[in-house]
Each structure stands twice: as C-alpha cells, then as structure tokens.
Chain A
Amino acid sequence: MEGETPESLQSLFWYATAVFVVIGTTLLVSYLVGERHESPATSDPYESGIVPTGSNRFRVPVQFYLVAMLFVIFDLEAVYVFAWALVVREAGWPAFWEMTIFIGVLLIALIYVWRVGALDWRKNAP
C-alpha cells in the first residue's frame, strides 16, 4: 500500500505537470505570436456595432437558474445509471428493479416539475 500510493501520486504529478506545460506553452505562444492593434472599440463587447446599454452583470430572471438546476440534477442521475450499466450482469435483477424504481422516482419528479410550470420558459404566453 505504502509503496503504491507515492507511485500513483507521482504519475498523477507528471500528468498534471504535462497539462500545465502544454496549456502554459499554448497560452504563451499565442500571446507572443501574431499582431496586435489597439483602437478605442477593440476590447469593447460586440453588440451589433452599438455601444451596449447597461451592464452584463445583472439579475437574470429565475427561470434561467431553474432550468439550469433541473438540468444538472437530472443529468447527474445519469452517473448512477452509467455505473450500474457497467455491472449490470453482476448486479442481477435486484439491482435492475432498484434502478427501475430510481428512474421511476425521477420520472415522477420530472412530471411534477413539468406540472408546476417550472419548465415553462415564458411567464404568460400571448
């Protein structure tokens, strides 16, 4: 155990170093190479050629977060499904039924959020 851990850590260390070197070189080279120009609007955001109104950091309506969070929640469940799928034969039928119940619960949750209108993008349709 003791001999094993540093070795795997070592490989992890080299891996991380390689990642940093590659990223660092890419960033550095792309920073150095090429031409630059600086004029008044160069670093302004592009918005159809017009100076934008207001800041881009403002409170966006809650629906955006709601949809994002629901996506993350339902998406994360896929991790368990994948893990189960790898050992589906070994785990056998009990696991299958457990997974069915699990997906069933998710389905009910999905129907629930749908019914309460959490997936409606706009408030009052015209």
Chain B
Amino acid sequence: MHRDRVSPNNQESAETHQADENTDRNRLRLLEADGYQEAVRRVIVLARLQDLLAWGRKNSLWPFNFGLSCCYIEMATSLTSRYDIARFGSEVVRGSPRQADVIVIAGTVFRKMAPIIKRLYEQMMEPRWVISMGSCANSGGMYDVYSVVQGVDKFLPVDVYVPGCPPAPHTLMEGLLLLQEAVGSERRPLSWVLGPEHIKRPILPARRDLARESRQQARTFPGMDTVAWYSSKDQGPR
C-alpha cells in the first residue's frame, strides 16, 4: 500500500527535473543569441561545477547526532539494519555540530531546550539543513502546553517537515530523500569572497498535494480483523 503512494511522487520528481533542464537550455539559447560566447562558456563551466558540488552534497548528508524525545528512537532505528539509512549516504552520524550537514529535530521542542537547539544550529557550518521530524517539532503536535514551543520553525528555518507521532523510520527516510532532492537542485555560491551570498533553491510542492489523487482513488483498505501481512514462514494455508 505504501509503495503505491510513493511511486507517483517519484514520477513527479523526475518530471520536475526535466523541467529544470529545459529552462536551463532556454537560458543558454538566449545568451547565445546575444552573442556572449565567452560568458556562456563561463556559465557552463561554473554551472557544471555547481552541479557537481550539489550532487556531492546531496549524496552525503551527514546528520548531527541529536535527538529530543521519542522520535529520536525512530531516527536511531532508521540507522539500523532493517531500514539502513546508509543506502542514502546518511549513516555518518556526527557527534559535533561542526561536522554535520543536517540537524534532525527529532522530538518535542521544549522551551528549556530551545536556546540550546538554537546554539547548536549556530555552531553548524554552512551549508546546513534542518529536518523537522514529528508532529511536536512541526507544530507542537499534541502538546499545546506551557513548556513546549509550538514548532521548531518559530526559531529555525526548516527545510523538510516529516509528519508522524513518531514518524516510522521509513517516513524519515522519505523526508531525507526529499531533502536530497532539494539539495541536489540547489545552487549555492562557490565562495564568500565573490560577493553577497545568495542561495537559489526551487520550491518543491507539498507531498500531500502530489499524493492527493492517488489517495482519493484508494478504494480498498485493510481491516483490523485479520493480520494484514504475512511473514516468510506464513505462506501456507491458514
């Protein structure tokens, strides 16, 4: 059932990539028409270098070993053999924010903890990304209560929100893939000396909107009366 939900998204993402390439090509055509051959060559070289860097970043997002509550257990589970986040290049869990690329806000953001989270984020080096994992970090979730900040985006810029309470490990991994997609299509400045830093990133559509159609088409739902799936030993008649 889950696979069904994922596949239309993947197709969708492939299409967006194609669209990006098309616009790039258009831009080049325009430049050629203006006759700036030299400029074009330079753009191509730089763009290719940026592509290479983005590709490198995308496939080696190292998370900071940081967890707040229940979600962290699921985040840790995603590192272990059943889920194995190493398939996506994110198994190198760093103990220091200096070496980490992505901080997963895994759990409830407490008011006593918020200044510390901010500090840790400040201590991360560029480029850095934030995944907000679980309902608490997304919005406060079921904890609309005095000691909880209603979402980590109150004080940190969030790149990907992963829903769930807690999200299952594979949901976090889908979030990671989304972040990879974003990182892969991001254009970051090559150097800070060249001028003001400007990061170009595409706006990715919400997964909910993409999945809506396939979800609306779902007609059969597994009931609670029988075990929904069987293990390897369980193929025989019952």
Report the number of A-B residue pairs with Cβ-Cβ less than 8 Å: 39
Task: Name the interface residues of B31-90: CB closer than 8 Å to any CB of A.
Answer: none
Contact of B190 among A33, A44, A49 (CB under 8 A): A33
Cβ–Cβ < 8 Å partners of A36 in chain B: 126, 192, 197
Q: Does B193 contact A (CB under 8 A)?
A: yes
Give the residue among B96, B97, B123, B126 with the most A Cβ atoms within 10 A.
B123
List B contacts of A50 (CB < 8 A): 116
B-chain residues with CB within 8 Å of residue A46 when the two chains form the complex: 96-98, 120, 123
Known: A34-B126, A35-B127, A35-B188. A49 touches B119 (CB 8 A): yes
Check B119 against A35 for contact (C-beta < 8 Å).
Answer: no
Interface residue range, chain B: 10 to 19
Whether a CB of chain B sits under 8 angstroms from the CB of A1 is: no
B97, B98, B122, B191: the one within 8 Å of A33 (CB): B191
Q: How far is the CB of A64 from chain B (nearest CB, A)?
A: 22
For B126, give its contact among A32, A35, A40 (CB under 8 Å).
A35
A42 to B: closest C-beta gap in Å: 5
A26 CB to closest chain B CB, in angstroms? 15
- A49 to B98 alpha-carbon distance, docked (Å): 12
A81 to B119, CA, bound (A): 51
Task: Assess the A35–B192 pair: CB atoms within 8 A.
Answer: yes
A37 within 8 A of B: yes
The answer to whether B116 touches A49, judged by C-beta atoms less than 8 angstroms apart, is yes
Give every chain A residue within 8 A of B189 (Cβ-Cβ): 35
Residues of B within 8 A of A39 (CB): 122
CA distance A33 to B193 in the complex (A): 8
Q: Which residue of B lies closest to A43 (CB)?
A: B123
Chain B residues with Cβ below 8 Å from A32 are: 191-193
> How far apart sit A46 and B66, CA to CA, in the bound complex (Å)?
13
Chain A residue numbers with a CB within 8 Å of B193 are: 32
By beta carbon, the residue of chain B nearest A44 is B123
- Give Cα A32 to B189, complex, Å: 11
With CB as the reference atom, state the residue of chain A lying closest to B126.
A35
Per-position 1/0 for A19-61, Cβ under 8 A of B: 0000000000000111111011110101001100000000000
Chain B residue nearest to A49 in the complex (CB): B116
| Cβ contact within 8 Å between B191 and A49 | no
Please name the 10 residue pairs, one residue from A and one from B, whose CB atoms are nearest each other, closest first.
Answer: A35-B126, A49-B116, A41-B122, A39-B122, A36-B192, A41-B119, A49-B120, A32-B191, A33-B191, A42-B122
Chain A positions near chain B (C-beta within 8 angstroms): 32-37, 39-42, 44, 46, 49-50
Interface residues of chain B, those whose CB is within 8 Å of chain A, are 96-98, 116-120, 122-123, 126-127, 188-193, 197
Q: 6 pairs across A/B with beta carbons < 8 Å? A: A32-B191, A34-B192, A41-B118, A41-B122, A46-B123, A49-B117
